[in-house]
Amino acid sequence: MSAKWSVTPIIKKQLSTLVDQNDPKQRPRLGDYLGLFGVPLALATAAFFTEFRLRGVEGLLAGVAIFTALLFGLLVHVFTLGLRITDDPRISKSGKTAQLVDQLQGNVAYAVLVGLFTTTVLIVGVSTTLKDHALGVPISTVTVFSICHLLLIMLMALKRTQAAYEQFRL
C-alpha cells in the first residue's frame, strides 16, 4: 500500500499506547488488549449467535459520521496542543505530560480511523438494505464490534486527557 494512505503508522501508534506505564521496558499490557479488542469481540460474537440485526441504521450512520467528523476536529486540536507544549518552557519535552499528549494524539487518530471504518460499514449496510428494514446479521455484527471498540478508545482518550491535566496542575 502506498505510504500516502497507509494507516499502518496510526495502528502502530495506537498499539504502542497499550503498555504498562510503570514498567521501565514499557511491555504490552494484556489487560489493555483484552479490554480494547476482547470486549467488543465478545459483544459482536453474542450479537452474531443471537442473530442481532440493527434497525434505524440511517440515524446511526448520521450519528457516527458526525462523531467521526468531530473526532477529526479534535485530532487537529490535539496536534496544535502538542505544538504548544513543545514551546512551553514549563513542560519537559520528555516529561509525563508531553508523553500523555503524544499518546492522546495516537488514540484520537486511531479513533478517527475506526470512525471512518464504521461509517463505511454503515454506508454499505444502508445502501444494500431496503429502507426501514434491519441490517443483515454479518454487517450488524461488524457494526457492534466497531462501535464498542470506538467507545472504548474514546474512554482511553478521556482517561489520558484527565491524566495530562492532573500532571499539568501539579
Summarised one tens digit per residue, pLDDT across range 14-69 is 999 998 777 777 788 888 999 999 999 999 999 999 999 999 899 999 999 999 99
Give the pLDDT score at 170.
63
Query: What residues make up the domain containing 79?
Result: 8-169
Tell whether 2 is covered by a domain: no
Tell whether 17 is covered by a domain: yes
Tell whether 57 is covered by a domain: yes
Query: Containing H/E element for 33?
Result: helix 30-33
Q: What is the largest CA-CA distance in the chain?
A: 58
Do residues 136 and 53 lie in contact, with contact meaning Cβ atoms separated by under 8 Å? yes
Whole-model pTM: value is: 0.89
Tell whether 162 is covered by a domain: yes
Q: Which residue has the cell 460474537?
A: 45
Neighbours of 130 (CB within 10 A): 6
Tell whether 1 is covered by a domain: no
Tell whether 3 is covered by a domain: no
Give the pLDDT score at 67.
95
**Count of structural domains within the chain:** 1
Alpha helices in 18-136 (DSSP H): 30-33, 39-49, 57-87, 96-127
- Helix axes 8-16 and 96-127, enclosed angle (nearest 10): 130
Does 128 have pLDDT greater than 80?
yes
Tell whether 41 is covered by a domain: yes
